[in-house]
Amino acid sequence: MTLRRERWEAEPLRSGTLPGACNRRGRAAFTILEVLVALFIFSAVLTSLYATWRLVLQSNAAGLLIAANAQRARMAMQTVEEAVGSAVMFNSNTNYAFVADTSGNFAAVSLVGHLSDSFPASGRFEGERIRRVTFMVENGPDGEPALMMRQNSMLAADTDKVESYPVLLAKDVSLFTMEFWDQRKNEYVNEWVNPRLLPPLVRITLGFGVRQRRQSEPDELVTRVVRIYGVGVDGSLQGGAPTPVRPN
């Protein structure tokens, strides 16, 4: 028994190896298959993280675009509402004409309004509140239809060159229409033919963008009904020589 045990313990010393050393040396490295599986799992995790990150960015961009469009539509419509609602008229003075052109693809309107100090570009007119305001759709800086507003001073002489101040209200405009309330017909009409009268109600529709599926429907549509409280001042109440005052 003693000789056999000594031979068994001496055998590893002759071969230069310890029991189980081969097994431990085999488990110390990874096989090619294990490396490939690890790389595949790592790439799948990275792809999932990238897809999630891209989805978050796209959702954020879409949310910001929707908010910007809503703000743009609100501000543009608010400006048109304020100008139309403040319209004034002097019947015998053609400079106060209410001119509306609805024959084209986009409506255009020009009127004289009593505007507030907070109205856009009011600082350019140094406190002159009664001004002519014109709204029309033109090609913007990027070539797309844009709603433009121009203002002119009413104090300048007819022979003077009146400077107009353009203001870009909204881009990517796909619809701009106006309808006017006709008291005789008791309904809205698409054309206002008498420039010396003010319509009591104006229905304004402003659209932005175009859907891809239906090219005739804007992405965003805003409609407002504006009441004009101003009435035309009769010509007999305007002008004329002042009545002389006799001294006592």
pLDDT in the model for residue 37: 87
pLDDT in the model for residue 92: 72
pLDDT in the model for residue 52: 87
On the question of pLDDT at 151 being above 60, the answer is yes
Percentage of the residues of the chain whose pLDDT score is greater than 70: 74
On the question of pLDDT at 7 being above 70, the answer is no
pLDDT level of residue 245 (50, 70, 90 thresholds): very low
Domain hosting 80: range is: 73-235
Domain annotation covers residue 242: no
Give the pLDDT confidence of 71-123 residue by residue, as tens digits. Answer: 777 888 999 999 999 999 887 788 899 999 998 889 999 999 999 988 988 88
pLDDT in the model for residue 106: 93
On the question of pLDDT at 179 being above 60, the answer is yes
DSSP for the chain, written as a single string: -HHHHHHHHHHHHHHT--TTHHHHHHHTS--HHHHHHHHHHHHHHHHHHHHHHHHHHHHHHHHHHHHHHHHHHHHHHHHHHHHHHTB-EETT-GGG--EEE-SSSS-EEEEEEE--TTSTTGGGGTT--EEEEEEEEEE-TTSSEEEEEEEEESSS-TTS----EEEEEESSEEEEEEEEEETTTTEEES----TTS--SEEEEEEEES--SS-TTS-SEEEEEEEE----EEPGGGS--PPPP----
pLDDT in the model for residue 244: 39
Domain annotation covers residue 46: no
Give the pLDDT confidence of 197-209 residue by residue, as tens digits. Answer: 899 999 999 988 7
Domain annotation covers residue 213: yes
Domain annotation covers residue 105: yes
Domain annotation covers residue 164: yes
pLDDT level of residue 5 (50, 70, 90 thresholds): low
Domain annotation covers residue 47: no
Domain annotation covers residue 162: yes
Domain annotation covers residue 125: yes
Number of domains composing the chain: 1
